Structure 1
Amino acid sequence: MTKKKILLAEDNSTLSLLLKFRLEKEGYELLIAKDGNEAISFIISENPDLILTDIMMPFVSGLEVISHLRLKLNLDTPVIVFSSAGQEEMVLKAFNLGANDFMAKPFSPNELVIRVKRLLM
C-alpha cells in the first residue's frame, strides 16, 4: 500500500518538524513547504492526498493556497487550516474558499492526527 502524501505549509520550522515526526509515525509521507509559493509548487508536482496549511505565511497566504487549489487547479483535495487565535474572519474566509477543517493554534498533534485520519478515510 502506498503511503498517503500530506503537504504541510507552515512557516514555523519547529512546528513543522514536530508535525512531520508525529504524522510520519502514523505512516504518512510528509512534504513541507515554508510558504504558500512552495505549497502551490508541491500541489502541482506531488498531488498530495491532504493539505495542512497555516493561514498566515510569507509571500502567499494559506487563503491564496486554498483559492489556487479550488479555483485554478479545480482540485477537491481535503484542506485543514491552522490559525492563531483571534482570526475568526480569516477562518470564515478559508471555509468559504473550500477548507474542510480548522484548528486553532496551539493545538494537539494527537487531535490533528485524528482529524487527518478522518479526512483520508
Structure 2
Amino acid sequence: MAKKASNSEKRILLVDDDAEIIESLRLALEAQDYQVLVARDGNQGLALIERENPDLIILDMMMPKRSGFLVLERLKRLGEKKHRIIMITANEGNRHKAYAEMLGVDDYVRKPFPMDRLIQSVDRLLSE
C-alpha cells in the first residue's frame, strides 16, 4: 500500500490489552506513516482520548478494567466530538455488532482479520 503524505498528521489510538495485537497493529499503521498512541485498557484509553483527541480509535471489545462497550458508552454520554472508531473483537455474535453500531462505531472487524482489511478501513475513515 502506498503511503499518503498527510498520514503523518493523523493520530490513531490503539486500545487493546493484547501485547501481540498492539505490536502488529502499531507496526502496520506506522508503516503507513500514521502516528500511533497505545492504551492497554479502557481506562487508559479514555484518559488518552481526553488528553490527545486522536483522529481515530481502534478499540478492542473485551478488556480488563473497562470494556470497549463501556468506553463507547462513556464517549456517547460525554457527547463530545464524534470520534472515528473501529471496534475489533473475536466475538461472533450479531447482537454485539448491533450494539456497537448503536453506540456509534464506524466499523466492526472480527478477529482474526487480514491486516490489509483494517488498513483499508483506517484509510477510508480518515479520508472522509
Poorly superposed stretches of 4+, deviation over 2 Å: 85-88
Q: Number of matched residues?
A: 121
In structure 2, the gaps of 5 or more residues are 1-5
Larger radius of gyration: 2
1:51 has 2:64 as partner: no
Q: 1:98 aligns with which of 79, 85, 104?
A: 104
CA distance in 2, matches of 1:13, 1:88: 26
1:23 has 2:67 as partner: no
Partner AA of 1:118 in structure 2? R
Percent of pairs with identical residues: 35
TM-score, normalised with respect to structure 1: 0.94
Cα contact 1:55–1:90 (8 A) shared by 2: no
SS at structure 1 position matched to 2:14? strand
Cα RMSD of the aligned pairs, angstroms, is 1.2
1:75 has 2:78 as partner: no
In structure 1, the gaps of 5 or more residues are none
CA distance in 2, matches of 1:89, 1:8: 23
Cα deviation, residue 97, structure 1:
0.7
